[in-house]
A = this chain, B = another copy of it.
Amino acid sequence: MKLYEFARAPNPRRVRFFMAEKGIDLATIERPQIDIAAGENLSEAFRQKNPMGGVPVLELDDGTCISETMAICRYFEAIDPTPALLGSTALEQATIEMWNRRMEFNLLLPIAMAFRHTTGHFADRETVFPEYGKDSAENALKTLNFLDTHLAKQPFIAGKAFSVADITAVVSIDFARIIKFRPDAEQHANVLAWHTRISERAAASV
């Protein structure tokens, strides 16, 4: 298999983090770099692999392509359910799905919108709305405030066990440095303690 990705983008990092937690040695996986800043993801050749033009894309040995971060994670979870990063029982699966989506829609998405609309990084291919970008950053901050209360009560985002929701949230927060959006030492002490713990995992560095 091959993982088409762009090393410094957040969604490819989510997949690498997930794969490494599953015990997959990333050094053994071919990982062609698709420069999204230069628009390589929009080429006709790449759109054959993902018509939506996003990375990462997992290409299986028979040429089948799977795109969308969580679809790739789910593929690896289904092949090898241990350790469970998407939950085992019905309630665990639902709880992790709930928290992962909360992190996607209330943290990663507003951070991505803040990045795109305040920096104009993709102004060659999309209309930029700077005020919407600023508003998105404020929404991401509200989520960080909420998370700080939440993480005072439990060690991981989805409860007592590490899960994909922690991956999504840590990767989002790390990516947000690009727009100088960071947890505050006083206001987000619980977020920072959790962030330190998650970042110490070996898979956080792949």
Contact = CB atoms under 8 A, between A and B. Distances in A.
A78 to B, nearest CB: 4
A68 B102 contact: yes
A71 B51 contact: no
A75 B94 contact: yes
A74 B52 contact: no
A150 B131 CA distance: 35
A129 interface: yes
Interface stretch (A25-33, A85-93, A168-176, A182-190): A85-93
B52 A75 contact: no
Interface string A74-112: 110011000000000111011101100110001000000
A148 to B, nearest CB: 13
Interface of A: 51-52, 64, 66-68, 70-72, 74-75, 78-79, 89-91, 93-95, 97-98, 101-102, 106, 127, 129, 131-132, 135, 146, 150
20 contacts: A51-B146, A51-B150, A66-B94, A66-B95, A68-B97, A68-B101, A68-B102, A70-B101, A71-B94, A71-B97, A72-B94, A74-B90, A75-B91, A78-B89, A78-B94, A79-B90, A127-B131, A129-B129, A129-B135, A132-B132
